[in-house]
Every structure is written in C-alpha cells, then in structure tokens.
Amino acid sequence: MLLVTGGAGFIGANFILDWLARSDEPVLNLDKLTYAGNLENLAALEGDARYLFARGDVCDRALVDRLLAEHQPRAIVHFAAESHVDRSIHGPAEFLKSNVEGTFTLLEAARAYCAGLPEERRAAFRFHHVSTDEVYGALKPEDAPFTEAAPYAPNSPYSASKAASDHLARAWFKTYGLPVTVSHCSNNYGPFHFPEKLIPLLIVHALAGKPLPIYGDGAQIRDWLYVGDHCAAIRRILEAGIPGETYNVGGWNEMDNLSVTREVCAWLDRLSPRADGVSYARQITHVADRPGHDRRYAIDARKIARDLGWRPEETFASGLEKTTRWYLEHAQWVKNAQSGAYRAWVEKQYGKAL
C-alpha cells in the first residue's frame, strides 16, 4: 500500500481519487486536517476498503512509526504542508513546523522503517517528496525556465520552508541512502482547490458578485498545470523515477495573472452569465501587492518528458473549462469550505478592499 500524507488537501485528494480509480492498491491517508484539509474531498471513497484514514500530524514520530509498522507501505507520497504564500507572510511559524520539522520526522521514520525491511522490499521502497517551483525564486522576463539545475533562491517563508525540506530529502538520500525522489511542480488548479488560491478565489468571488482582487499590476507570471496532470506525473515518478533524482513538472503554460483572470471570467460568462449580461471582468479590482511577490515562475519540464515519458494532457482551456464547471456544480462544497475561519482569513488578508 501507499502512505499518502496531506491527502485531504487539494492535490493529495485528487491524487488519492485518481490512484484508486486506476489501481486496487490501498492508500492510507495521514492528515492533520488543518483549515485546508477537507474530508469531503474524499467522500466518494466512503465505505471503500482500499482507503484508510488516520488523523494526525506528520511531526508526531510515534504515530508515524506506528502507522509504518502496522501498514507496511511500499512507498510514502508526501504532500502534507502549509501551502499558502500569503498565510506564510502573516504567520511563518506553522510553515517551519509542518514543512520542515514534518518532513524531517517523516524522513527519519522512513529511514528506521526501511532499515528493518528485508533487502528486496528495501530496494523497492520509495519516498516521494512533493515540492514546488517556488524554491527557485523569481525569473526575469528574459530568463530561461527553471531546470532541475536551477539554483535555490526562495523568497517567501513558504518557499524557504519548502526549500529547507528539499535539502533534507536530498541529504537523507545522499547520507543514508533513503530512496528519495523529489518533484517541483508549478501552480496547480482544478477540483477541490481551496478558495484562498487565485483561480478558485476568482470563480467563487465572481459568482458571489464580489471584487476580483488582483495584487499590484497583475503582470506576475505563473506556469499553470491541471491537477490531474500533476497526479499523473507523480504516479509516473513512483513507477519509474530514479532515487536521488529530482523532476520538474509544469504545463508549458506561462500566463500573467490578469490574463488568467480574464480567462476565468470568459468561462464564467459562457457557462453562467451575470444577470445583467456584463462580463465578470467588470469585477476586477487592483489591491495592494504581496510583499516580496515573485514576478515570474516558469518550468522546463523536458527531463521528465525525456526520462519518464510524462507530458501534460490538458491545455489551459480544457483544464479551466473542467475546473469552472466543477465549481458551478459543487456550490455546496464551496459553501462548506467557506467556514467562519475562512471568512476571518479573507478579512485579514484583504481588509476593507473586498
């Protein structure tokens, strides 16, 4: 079986659902259920004997040891992390705890577990660490996209904490021979994305008639990848990735935030037009910029294409249409995700602007 951490979050939940749609290999999901963890994401697996859930913290060594001993996974897929840059600016401590100490705890537990495995199972074991392109820092307009050899230059508390966890993963491979693989993915979007991140926030705010907050001039560039393509890349790395290797995963789809916003508005205009017939783009509002805001990320995903044969299947248009339809069809999920705690966050982040 697989031990997946953070499986109640956006990408982890998509990964588990996709995995069990393709395989009968069971999954144990270890998740602390922070504000970002939502068991509703996995409601389709209720009663499915192939899916197990353990509520807990990846920093809890005794718990991780017990789960490894009891369930004997053949791999760990480590998603659990605090993941929102803006929250890391307001309160970095949780990021250090979950992202750095949490990864350290898992690596140590995996090392001890592996040492006790018979040779054949030890050789087959994998620890896949899910990282981000943000560890490489910001690119200038003329710079080439990030390859796996790009230097680390994290600029936010979030990316610094992810960079630290990457260094631990690397060291545990080099020093202890733990069979670690690492992936650096660009911005994901798709179903179950918590509406504090750009694309779901835009959809939810547009439909609620609220302003669409664009930080600064909106010319910041990200590479966008449909979440199902990211999950496919991780499956492929688990299958054929080489221990000690890192893989950059991206959509070959660089876009500035204003263009992304206009695309989201265009899909909503088609699928659920405003009563007055005016485009949702009318709701675009420029707000204060994010401190230390990275201007551009871009991923060179040639290595994973060449070595593992992975390429994204969705275009931005096809992925965004699916995503927009999903949010339109899941109004209750959105309502439930927007708890009191979420509303308090929106007030803290955007103040009176919204």
- Which stretch in 33-41, 61-69, 197-205, 340-348 sits in contact with ligand TYD by CB under 6 A? 197-205
Among 201, 231, 264, 320, binds ligand TYD (CB under 6 A): 201
Helix (H) or strand (E) holding 77, with range, is: strand 75-78
Tokens 């835009």 correspond to 202
Active site residues: 133-134, 158
Distance from chain centroid for Cα 354? 26
Distance of CA 157 to the CA centre of its chain: 16
d(CA 213, CA 235): 35
296 touching ligand NAD, by CB under 6 A: no
Among 2, 3, 4, 10, indicate the residue that binds ligand NAD (CB under 6 A): 10
Q: Does 161 bind ligand TYD (CB under 6 A)?
A: no
Sign of the dihedral defined by the CA atoms of residues 12, 14, 18, 24, in that order: positive
Q: With CB cut-offs between 5 and 8 Å by kind, which of ligand NAD, ligand TYD, none does residue 214 bind?
A: ligand TYD
> What DSSP state is assigned to residue 41?
G
Among 37, 191, 200, 251, binds ligand NAD (CB under 6 A): 37
| Binding flag, residue 220, ligand TYD (CB under 6 A) | yes
Q: Tell the smallest beta-carbon distance from residue 83 to ligand TYD (Å).
A: 8
Say if residues 170 and 324 touch (Cβ distance below 8 Å): no
- Establish how many alpha carbons lie within 13 A of residue 167's alpha carbon, considering only the half-sphere containing its beta carbon: 14
Eight-class DSSP state of 4: E
Stretch that binds ligand TYD, among 96-104, 123-131, 169-177, 193-201 (CB under 6 A): 193-201
By CB under 6 A, residue 197 contacts ligand TYD: yes
Residue 191 interacts with ligand NAD (CB under 6 A)?
A: no
CA-nearest of 256, 232, 226 to 321 is: 226
- Piece of 5-13, 45-53, 61-69, 169-177 that binds ligand NAD (CB under 6 A): 5-13
Residue 59 makes contact with ligand NAD by CB under 6 A: yes
The total number of residues written for the chain in this structure: 354
Distances (CA, A) of 113 to 65, 74, 106, 161, 167: 8, 11, 10, 25, 21
Q: Which residues, numbered 80-99, are part of the site for ligand TYD (CB under 6 A)?
A: 85
Residue 198 binds which entry of ligand NAD, ligand TYD, none, with Cβ cut-offs from 5 to 8 Å by kind? ligand TYD
Distance CA(330)–CA(191), nearest Å, equals 9
Strand, coil or helix: 220: coil
Q: How many other β-carbons are positioned within 10 Å of the β-carbon of residue 313?
A: 11
Q: How far apart are CA 245 and CA 303, in angstroms?
A: 10
What is the distance between the alpha carbons of residues 40 and 38, in angstroms, rounded to a whole number? 5
- State which residue has the least CB distance to ligand NAD: 9
Taking the C-alpha atoms of residue 268 and residue 327, their distance in angstroms, rounded to an integer, is 10
Rule CB under 6 A: is residue 31 a binding residue for ligand NAD? yes
Q: Which of 19, 79, 104, 173 binds ligand NAD (CB under 6 A)?
A: 79
Residue 351: strand, helix, or coil: helix
**By CB under 6 A, residue 187 contacts ligand TYD:** yes
Query: Which one of ligand NAD, ligand TYD, none interacts with residue 257, CB within 5 to 8 A by kind?
Result: ligand TYD
Does residue 255 touch ligand NAD according to CB under 6 A? no
Binding mask 120-159 for ligand NAD (x = CB under 6 A): ----------x-x---------------------------
The amino acid at 3: L
* Closest distance of CB 106 from ligand NAD, Å: 9
Instruction: Please give the residue ranges that form the binding site for ligand NAD (CB under 6 A).
Output: 5-6, 8-12, 31-34, 36-37, 57-59, 79-83, 98, 102, 130, 132, 162, 185, 187-188, 194
Instruction: Please give the residue ranges that form the binding site for ligand TYD (CB under 6 A).
Output: 85, 187, 197-198, 201, 213-215, 220, 222, 257, 290
